[in-house]
Amino acid sequence: MGSLVTVILPVFLLIGAGYVATRFANFSQSAVDGLMKFTQNFAFPCLLFRAVATIDLGEEFHLPLLATYYAAAFSCYVLGFAAGRFIFRRDVQDSIVIGFCCLFSNTLMLGLPITERAFGVDALAPNYAIIAIHAPFCYTVGIASMEAARASGSGLNIFGIAAKIGRQMARNPLVIALFLGFIVNLTDFQVPGPLMDTIKMMVAASVPAALFAVGGVMVQYKIEGDLRVVLVVCLITLVVHPSLVWLFNGASNLDTGQFRSALITAAVAPGINTYVFASIYDRAKRIAASAVLITTAGSLFSVWFWLTILP
């Protein structure tokens, strides 16, 4: 119970504050959208830039860590797709969105603050290593799958798919920030002190602003669509994903810090980007929105459980 109160509950109370302010206290939806754009397009890119620019790449970009997390994540994508296609008889494109919901964890807005509160700032290096390839990996899987499905019967245009993936990545501020961070790290470029201090100020605002904004965004969502599908997404994301990380760790033998970061990141809800992906292709949007809403609430209990049994 102690970990619930001291670690997890403040995170979800901040999300709840954003929900209450938007739902009952006249914090407008346009203000929520602006706050979300601030965190996604400016504050979190600053956080990722600073993290990657200063991290020890050789030490923290540990192949077994990435293999453990992403093997589990991709397995969940396959399970979600299979459930949509063969259990619920959805078409291929809807099933890809369902799989994407099971693949894309909220690594930044939930995984990062919960890990920090549970184990301290010094425990975040493995989180940053996972986050560094999260969007590129997930969007590559999702876009490649969807474009292949849409091209079925008319010939697969590999270069066209690669171009769409490239455009999506090139427009993503998080990916741009990561790229710049890698350049600074690898070239040992010294960022001017005043600029780095400005970046640090942006970083300080990123997590609380993002959590408050998530609560405001939740007001837009309603529990709609096939509830059975949404419950399967909840099961895969909150139970199966962290369980697979635990299982795969038996082969990769991660150190304690890496294992904690991988497991907590796997145990949180899908990110809002799952709804963005569904909207891009106009498929299974109600399922994606409902899954984000229900799993975000469910993360309170799933993360609590995993924290109680982590070493």
The DSSP code sequence of 174-240 is HHHHHHHHHHHHHHT----HHHHHHHHHHHHHHHHHHHHHHHHHHTT----S-HHHHHHHHHIIIII
Domain ranges across the chain: 2-309
262 near 126, Cβ under 8 Å?
yes
Residue type, 291: A
Residue 39 to residue 4: CA distance in whole angstroms: 26
Mean pLDDT by 10 residues, the chain (311 residues): 70 92 92 92 93 85 95 98 97 97 95 93 94 92 90 70 81 90 93 94 92 88 83 97 97 94 96 88 90 92 90 82
| Chain position carrying tokens 């490239």 | 166
Q: How far is CA 51 from CA 129, 179, 199, 295, in A?
A: 9, 12, 11, 28
Residue 200 contacts residue 50 (beta carbons within 8 Å): yes
Question: What's the farthest any 2 CA atoms get from each other in the chain?
Answer: 58
The closest alpha carbon to 202, from 222, 177, 225, belongs to 177
Give ∠ CA 250-255-261 in degrees, rounded to 5: 95
Residue 155, pLDDT score = 61
Task: Report the distance separating Cα 245 and Cα 65, nearest Å.
Answer: 10
Q: What is the pLDDT of residue 214?
A: 87
Q: CA angle, corner 118, sides to 71 and 185, nearest 5?
A: 60
Instruction: Give me the residue label for tokens 């501020």.
Output: 173
Residues 180, 54 contacting (CB under 8 angstroms): no
d(CA 290, CA 297): 11
- pLDDT given for residue 3 in this prediction: 56
Fold of 2-309: Na+/H+ antiporter like fold (1.20.1530)
Q: Tell me what pLDDT residue 162 has.
A: 81
Q: Which of 99, 76, 287, 116 is nearest to 211 (CA)?
A: 116
Write down the pLDDT at residue 1: 47
Contact 212, 17 (CB under 8 A): yes
Is the pTM here over 0.85, yes or no?
Answer: yes
Task: Give the chain's radius of gyration (CA, Å).
Answer: 19
- Which residues are CB-contacts of 283 (< 8 A; sequence separation ≥ 6)? 93, 94, 96, 97, 146
